[in-house]
Structure 1
Amino acid sequence: MTGRETEQGGRLACAVWGVGLGAYFVAVFHRSSLAVAGLLATDRFDIGAAQLATFTMMQLLVYALMQVPVGLLIDRFGPRAVMLTGTLLLTAAQAGFALAETYPAALVARLFVGMGDAMTFICLLRLVSRWFPARRVPLITQLTGTLGQLGAVVAAVPMTFALRELGWTGAYLTTASLGLLLAVGLVVVVRDSPEERRLTGPQLSLTAVRRSLSASWAHPGNRLGFWMHFTSQFSATTLSLLWGYPFLVQGEGLSSGTAGVLLSLIVVAAWYSGPLLGYLVGRHPWHRSTIVITIVCAIVVVWTAVLAWPGTAPLWLLVVLTQVVGIGGPAAVIGFDLARTSNPAERMASATGIINQAGFAASLVLVVAVGLILDWRTPGGSSDYTPEAFRWAMSAQYVLWALGLAQIVRYRRRARRVIDRAGLEAGTTVG
């Protein structure tokens, strides 16, 4: 293998990134596949809104809780081994979900979907940081998040078609089989770094783990990245994973086809905004938090217009909603750039894990809150939710936005007190 092939940003780097991106793509698909199957799930398992929300709650809870352990595993065993394990686990879990006929069995399957999902994105970010030059990492990171979200598109319109034509079991078994092909690619193509196929770290004692995590959390740059991720992502995640389809169909009176297209437009927004944000972050890293605050404020304004609109909102406004919410996903990825510039290499994966759990923790809270409020505002425990019930439920977002924005302002002030512009030029600053 030539030096040109193994150099940072070379042909092998692109191949490694491509296979890892495929694994992330499929993980996003499995994560999002319940979004268009929520109403079918209520019939298949004879459950209500709160129980339906438990599927996604369990998945997100496991995903969030696994982020720090996965980061530590990557630091110890390398991203290739962890991503391969996650891909195989995700494949088995999705097959189990396809065959489940009872609510408890399906719930266990979604738990393992969340566990396997948790082992992909951080691994891919570590591969990107090792295989590409530092100046290109922000752009490649945004492209990773943007292209990976294609999985959510496949989980919208095509998954709706598959469920209709193949049925529940056929649709989910067919998609589960994709993981086997990716496992082969991970074994054959992916290397942990240009120098080593497998790059492992030293064993970590409990004392060393506590010291590493304490140092990561104590740095104001990591806390700023945490709250940026927390505040930007949860609206898009909640709509894409579970409540977007019922909200658009029952809350806004749209057809199932139109609702599927609108959910796909969330990902379209991520496609064009991700590379743009990556470029802006690379050129103006001191203004990363300002970019995120601006985007979150736009999300709040448009959601307010939708919820305050007399009757159902017009289609054009719902399209605008999908765009601003969709931009929130790439905005959350900016938080990972804070981990890159705020930590030494030996604790980068664990710091990234701390940040990555933020948005999913917020999404978990919102998914559960929406389900509980819908059941509270719907008489008789029916799954025929009214537009008024959805207005109440979606208004729970304001609590999370207020908390997140306050913390972003708080920690960017702290970060800017301890990191000056000289540190920015050295590539070790936050903002």
Structure 2
Amino acid sequence: MSPQAKAVIFWATGVLAYVVAVFHRQSLGVAGIEAAARLDVGAAGLSTLAMLQLLVYAIMQVPVGVLVDRLGSKWMLVIGAAVMAGGELVFALADGLVPGIAGRALIGCGDAMTFISVIRLVNIHFPAHRNPLMVQLTGLIGQLGAIASAVPLIHSLHTYGWTPTFMGAAVVGVVSVLLLLTVVRDSRPERAERQPGLSAAWAEPGTRLGMWTHAATQSSAAAFLMLWGYPFLVQGQGLTPATAGVLLSTLTLCGMACGPLLGYLAGRFPLHRSRLVFTVIGTSAGTWTAVLLWPGRAPLWLLVLLVVVLAANGPGSLIGFDYARTFNPAARIGAAIGIVNGGGFIASMTLIALIGVILDLRGQATLDDFRWAFAAQYPLWALGAAQVLRYRGRTRRLVPVRQHR
């Protein structure tokens, strides 16, 4: 078998593991109402579950980035899949907030090991000019896990109940472990001889440009998909669970369609990557403004427009990884990717927590309460856009203009 064919097989197996990781990550998103009842928690408690999952994920990004530079992708993927399977098992048996938190923390920990490892496979085995498209394809295919965590998971919860549903998710994780052990090999063509430079990666302005790009573009859709979109659509907008599930799946499907386009544009017009980032931020903020200011419940067409616009958030955030690749050598690419990914998920965690706190302070889950809660997005957008401008300026002063916009 040719090296190119092996590279594709290793990457495809890693992407399948990422699909499973996304399924685990977002399995709480459509189970929020059931989780509140089973674990006997309110909006702040639900926020705690999602926030701590993301907190563990974000904290693990830099250590995982350093470890994947040293140990390779295979074992990080295997360990991550096994830890997530254990987390789903704990969550399946949880009957209170503490075991629920433990389950979601394990899922966050294993999830943190997955995407970085797959992107490392791309950087090692594929030529640089293909990287933007391959990263977008990785994110695109990974969203199949989000689709599986929407309508099918809702159906399973309503048909089989809590414990069978999440024990089934644990079994899926075990299958992922076995597949990774069987297929993936760490026969990397070039292994970095020197130790990765975490401090050097952080000192590079291009790394922080990527981090703020990821943070500014990802957080809105992440909060919507991971926890608050389903309650907002069902309790706030009065949609049926089935319709809400279809909208969440529509967001994911549109993101899958948008990913290759943004990957092509980022690779074809590297001087204009930041313009793509500002377009994603601006359209997201504008559409949310229309939804939140609409008198009464928003019409279905506007909610469809919202999910279509939010679909660009995930692919847009992946431009941050392209900045990390552009400005860092291979020896520290894992550390740089960890910084970029961690920053994005800290922003998402912050937004999820703020929404839950505001809902609890308001005391109910009415449409007006959700309006105030989702208004927490605007300061994050403003901060993220300002920092992208700041670090774009720094990179322009340090390297030739043709390399970095």
Aligned partner of 1:375 in structure 2 is: 360
Aligned partner of 1:334 in structure 2 is: 319
Distance between the aligned counterparts of 1:322 and 1:269, measured in 2? 8
- 1:175 is aligned to 2:155: no
Aligned partner of 1:415 in structure 2 is: 395
Identity percentage of aligned residues: 50
Aligned partner of 2:122 in structure 1 is: 128
SS at 2:318's partner residue?
helix
- How far has the Cα of 1:201 moved from its partner? 6.0
Find 1:40's aligned residue among 34, 41, 50: 34
- How far has the Cα of 1:146 moved from its partner? 1.0
Distance between the aligned counterparts of 2:143 and 2:344, measured in 1? 15
CA contact (8 A) 1:75 1:201 kept: no
Q: Which amino acid aligns with 2:100?
A: A
Aligned residue runs from structure 1 range 174-193, under 5 A: 174-193=168-187
* Aligned alpha-carbon RMSD (Å): 1.4
Aligned partner of 2:68 in structure 1 is: 74
CA contact (8 A) 1:76 1:201 kept: no
- 1:221 is aligned to 2:221: no
Aligned residue runs from structure 1 range 161-310, under 5 A: 161-195=155-189, 212-310=197-295
CA contact (8 A) 2:284 2:309 kept: yes
Q: Deviations over 1:83-120 (max 9, x none)?
A: 11111111111111111122211111111110000000
Aligned partner of 1:381 in structure 2 is: none
* 292-301 vs 214-223, which moves further: 214-223
- How far has the Cα of 1:73 moved from its partner? 0.6
**Unaligned stretches of 5+ residues in structure 2:** none
Distance between the aligned counterparts of 1:54 and 1:367, measured in 2? 9
Distance between the aligned counterparts of 2:174 and 2:130, measured in 1? 31
TM-score normalised per structure 1: 0.92
SS at 1:101's partner residue?
coil
Distance between the aligned counterparts of 2:343 and 2:254, measured in 1? 22
Q: Deviations over 1:248-277 (max 9, x none)?
A: 011111111111111111111211110001
- How far has the Cα of 1:200 moved from its partner? 7.9
- How far has the Cα of 1:193 moved from its partner? 4.3
Aligned residue runs from structure 1 range 95-110, under 5 A: 95-110=89-104
Q: Deviations over 1:30-60 (max 9, x none)?
A: 1100111100111101111101110001100
The 4+ residue runs of structure 1 with deviation greater than 2 A are 191-196, 199-202
SS at 1:34's partner residue?
coil
TM-score normalised per structure 2: 0.97
- How far has the Cα of 1:191 moved from its partner? 2.2
Distance between the aligned counterparts of 1:182 and 1:97, measured in 2? 18
CA contact (8 A) 1:127 1:193 kept: no
Find 1:115's aligned residue among 109, 112, 132: 109
- How far has the Cα of 1:401 moved from its partner? 0.4
- 1:158 is aligned to 2:138: no
Distance between the aligned counterparts of 2:169 and 2:126, measured in 1? 31
